[in-house]
Chain A
Amino acid sequence: MWEQIAANRRKSILLVMSAALLLGALGWALGVNFMGRNGGVPGVMLALVVWLVMTLTAWYQGDNIMLSVAGAHRVQKEDLPQLFNVVEEMTLAAGLPKMPAVYVIDDPAPNAFATGRRAENAAIAVTSGLLKTLDRDELQGVVAHEMAHIRNRDIQLMLFAGVLAGAIVILAEGGLRGMWLGGGRSRSRRDGGSDGSGIVAILAVVLMILAPILAQLIYFAVSRKREYLADASGASFTRYPEGLASALEKISRAPQRLGGATSATAPMYIINPLKRAGEMAANATSTHPPIDERVRILRSMAGGGLADYERSYREVTKGGGVIPKSALQGEPAVAAAAAQAGQPAPQVAPAPVAAGPAPSARESARQVDDFFYRKDGYRKVDCACGTTLRIPPDFATPAAKCPRCGTLHDLR
């Protein structure tokens, strides 16, 4: 498990480093193009400065920016006890040192994401639509998937990968704009020089056009791979892959589109928020693997372990594995040790306990509504006839009449 974290990291660092090289090349091309033959080094420096500023901002404010762009609100245990319990349970299953902060987004489209610098100050955000659509087992599956992103350090890596891609896009766009406006001047200055400068200029333009596309592709590639891994670890936390599978199905079938998600934040969500339901998403430009495939892999798992996911992945995709070998070492031994103890691995699934006493879907939907009404300053008045009256904060009349039974409620 700890080996898995390390192996994940090495592979992804390679991808991020190639993006860094791209950034450097772009900086060099920009420098040479605008400042002449000796401009390469200052160009690279400029690119590095842009990247550094963006990285520092992301490192210290990235999670806050992400949460506020998405319109997330922090909740406590009293607000949504079930969600809170589920997050607490998954924290234990993942063995994280500290429970992530819990946020809710008031949006009917079911979705979720995790963010944060490191496991100690991470946050998990879910939409109110998610809470209203899913039952407890499915919610647990989604939270497990997000917890896996935190435990596997994906949130950190995605932050860096996203910033790198962003820096490349900004530099390339600025460069292209500069070419349109003032590019002529720099070219005319070098007109009398060698023929090489013309080639450099063409190369620079090509790089400026290609770099942002490549950067996005790398970013998406990192993101796609991570989704499978998070599914695998998520399933190993709950030992109940069906929960996540049916949650993914429900989320992908939902007709609503999520507001407050951009192409920069899209890879962070459990399901791509920018794709319409039913749309195929199986090409290089997609941030997420196809949902059908994720569901099929989860459904054909024989048990709840990482090795089961790996086997199922190979069967469904007919391709190579997704989980690093070092992480699988000793995995069958877990099953063996458990079986020896008279305790098959899937038995650890607390699903039978969880399924029962949880508040019904209607109850948790009511809790979500209560939270957002309370946040907006609404007052709740329970009428004796069973109706709940919501009094807006700017309601001036001192009394309100129940629309069902006509009882007058004193509001002072």
Chain B
Amino acid sequence: MAALFLLPLVLAVVAVMWGVGIYNGLVAARNRVKEAWAQVDVQLKRRFDLIPNLIETVKGYMQHERGTLEAVTQARAAVAGAGTQAQRVEAEAGLTSALGRLFAVSEAYPDLKASTNFASLQEELASTENKIGFARQFYNETVMNMNNRVQMFPGNIIAGMFHFAPETFFEVKDEVQREAPKVSFN
């Protein structure tokens, strides 16, 4: 008799524990996404901070490229003014391509290229671009992991109960920007 009462109880306990496991997995995945985005953010911020320095260095050498320089400044302002995450991602993509053009035209200025200040800024900015790329790659990986958990059975049951939503990928929309600027600095 006792066993008959115990069986549903045991089943219920197992079910609850299983649910707790899935729930905790979801929370961990969401935290990883947040952490990964923070890393992307740090690098984007770093690039944002490097730009005034770059403009200052380049200005004296490139009087004939006012348009290119203004494009970079405007793109930077657009980043600062972006409200939503989607706007921000788009503005950052614009900044990447504006910077790419700036480095492309800098080819025509041998004095500028010879400047050690410019050379070290260039390594810094190039490396920051790389870091943004790698941080984004890792961020997208964590988003993938999160979304799989949220949308696949049986995780989707628990996710629905506790309102876990799929996260958005950090995509590069701009067609021009996806073709990374082919620049040779030799």
Does A348 sit at the interface, judged by CB under 8 A?
yes
Does A354 sit at the interface, judged by CB under 8 A?
yes
Does B57 sit at the interface, judged by CB under 8 A?
no
Q: Are A354 and B144 in contact (CB under 8 A)?
A: no
A94 to B119, CA, bound (A): 28
Q: Which of A1, A330, A338, A350 sits near B133, CB closer than 8 Å? A: A350
Query: Chain B 132-149, CB within 8 Å of chain A: the 1/0 string?
Result: 011111101110110010
B side interface size, CB within 8 A: 39
- Give every chain A residue within 8 A of B148 (Cβ-Cβ): 330, 333
Q: Which of B120, B135, B141 sits near A1, CB closer than 8 Å? A: B141
Q: Can you give 5 A-B contacts (C-beta < 8 A)?
A: A85-B123, A93-B134, A337-B144, A357-B103, A357-B119
A95 to B76, CA, bound (A): 27
Q: Which of A92, A330, A357 sits near B43, CB closer than 8 Å? A: A92
Given contacts A82-B123, A353-B180, contact A1 B145 (CB under 8 A): yes
Given contacts A337-B144, A350-B129, A350-B130, contact A92 B182 (CB under 8 A): no
Does B24 sit at the interface, judged by CB under 8 A?
no
Does B159 sit at the interface, judged by CB under 8 A?
no
A181 to B157, CA, bound (A): 71
Q: Are A343 and B134 in contact (CB under 8 A)?
A: no
Q: How far is the CB of A102 from chain B (nearest CB, A)?
A: 14
A85 to B124, CA, bound (A): 8
Q: Which of B124, B134, B144 sits near A350, CB closer than 8 Å? A: B134
Q: How far is the CB of A359 from chain B (nearest CB, A)?
A: 6
Q: Which of A2, A92, A337 sits near B39, CB closer than 8 Å? A: A92
Q: Which of B120, B124, B131, B181 sits near A92, CB closer than 8 Å? A: B131
- Give every chain B residue within 8 A of A348 (Cβ-Cβ): 133, 136-137
Q: Are B141 and A334 in contact (CB under 8 A)?
A: yes
Q: Are B126 and A358 in contact (CB under 8 A)?
A: yes
**Which residue numbers of A lie inside 8 Å of B, CB to CB?**
1-2, 81-82, 85-86, 88-90, 92-95, 237, 239, 330, 333-334, 337-338, 341-343, 347-348, 350, 352-354, 356-359
A341 to B139, CA, bound (A): 15
Closest to B147 in A: A337
- Give every chain A residue within 8 A of B169 (Cβ-Cβ): 337, 341
Closest to B100 in A: A353
Does B127 sit at the interface, judged by CB under 8 A?
yes
A86 to B122, CA, bound (A): 14
Given contacts A338-B140, A341-B169, A343-B178, contact A356 B183 (CB under 8 A): yes
> Which residues 16-43 of B sit at the A interface, judged by CB distance below 8 A?
32, 36, 39, 43
> Which residues 142-186 of B sit at the A interface, judged by CB distance below 8 A?
142, 144-145, 148, 169, 171-173, 178, 180-185
A354 to B131, CA, bound (A): 10
Q: Which of A89, A90, A341, A358 sits near B171, CB closer than 8 Å? A: A341
A94 to B39, CA, bound (A): 12
Q: How far is the CB of B40 from chain A (nearest CB, A)?
A: 9
- Give every chain B residue within 8 A of A342 (Cβ-Cβ): 171-173, 178
